Amino acid sequence: MTERSAAVTTRGLIKRYGSHTALHGIDLDIPRGRVFGMIGPNGAGKTTTMRLLLDIIRPSGGQLQVLGEDPRTGGSSLRRRVGYLPGELHLQARVRGRELFAHYAEISGTVRAGTVESLADRLGLDLSRPVRSLSKGNKQKVGLIQAFMHEPELLVLDEPTSGLDPLVQQEFHAMLREAKDKGQTVFLSSHVLSEVQQTADDIAILRSGRIVKLSTVGALRESAVRHVHVVVAEADFAAARSALIAVPGIGELAETGDDGATRALQTTINSHVDAFVKAIARFDLVDLTIEEPDLEETVLGFYGTDETATDGER
Ligand SMILES: Nc1ncnc2c1ncn2[C@@H]1O[C@H](COP(=O)(O)OP(=O)(O)OP(=O)(O)O)[C@@H](O)[C@H]1O
| 8-221: CATH topology | Rossmann fold (3.40.50)
Residue 307 pLDDT: 41
Q: Where are the beta strands (DSSP E) in the chain?
A: 8-17, 20-30, 35-39, 61-66, 82-85, 154-158, 185-190, 202-207, 210-216, 226-233, 254-258, 262-269, 285-290
Structure confidence at residue 309 as a pLDDT band (50, 70, 90):
very low
Residue 73 pLDDT: 94
Q: Strand pairing partners for 156?
A: 84, 187
Residue 151 pLDDT: 95
Does ligand 1 lie within 6 Å of residue 22's CB atom?
yes
Q: Could you give the ipTM of this predicted complex?
A: 0.97
Q: Looking at residues 49-71, what average pLDDT do you find? A: 96
Structure confidence at residue 3 as a pLDDT band (50, 70, 90):
low
Q: Measured between alpha carbons, how far is residue 202 from residues 38, 158, 194 in Å?
A: 9, 16, 13
More confident residue, 1 or 260: 260
> pTM here?
0.84
Give the residue, by CA position, lying nearest to ligand 1 atom 24.
Answer: 42
The domain locations on the chain are 8-221, 226-292
Ligand 1 atom with the shortest distance to the CA of 49: 18
Domain 226-292, classified CATH 1.20.1290.10, yes or no: no
Residue 261 CA, distance from chain mean position: 47
> Are 271 and 223 a contacting pair, CB within 8 Å?
yes
Best residue among 14, 19, 20 to mutate for probing ligand 1's pocket (most ligand atoms within 8 Å of CB) is 20
Q: Show Cβ contacts of residue 186 under 8 Å, excluding neighbours closer than 6 positions.
A: 34, 35, 36, 154, 155, 157, 176, 179, 180, 199, 200
Q: Say if 8-221 and 226-292 have the same CATH topology.
A: no
Ligand 1 atom with the shortest distance to the CA of 206: 21
Mean pLDDT of the chain: 90
Does ligand 1 lie within 6 Å of residue 45's CB atom?
yes
Ligand 1 atom with the shortest distance to the CA of 191: 25
Structure confidence at residue 305 as a pLDDT band (50, 70, 90):
low
Least Cα distance to 147 among 164, 130, 172, 127 occurs for 172
Q: 184 C-alpha to center of ligand 1: Å?
A: 27
- pLDDT tens-digit map of 25-50: 999 999 999 999 999 989 999 999 99
Q: Does an H or E element contain 173, and which? A: helix 166-181
Best residue among 48, 88, 158, 162 to mutate for probing ligand 1's pocket (most ligand atoms within 8 Å of CB) is 48
**What is the strand order of the sheet 226-233 is part of?**
254-258, 262-269, 226-233, 285-290
Lowest mean pLDDT across 45-54, 186-195, 230-239:
186-195
Does ligand 1 lie within 6 Å of residue 19's CB atom?
no
Handedness of CA 300, 305, 311, 314 (dihedral sign): negative
Q: Does an H or E element contain 301, and which? A: helix 295-303
Residue 308 pLDDT: 42
Best residue among 189, 311, 313 to mutate for probing ligand 1's pocket (most ligand atoms within 8 Å of CB) is 311
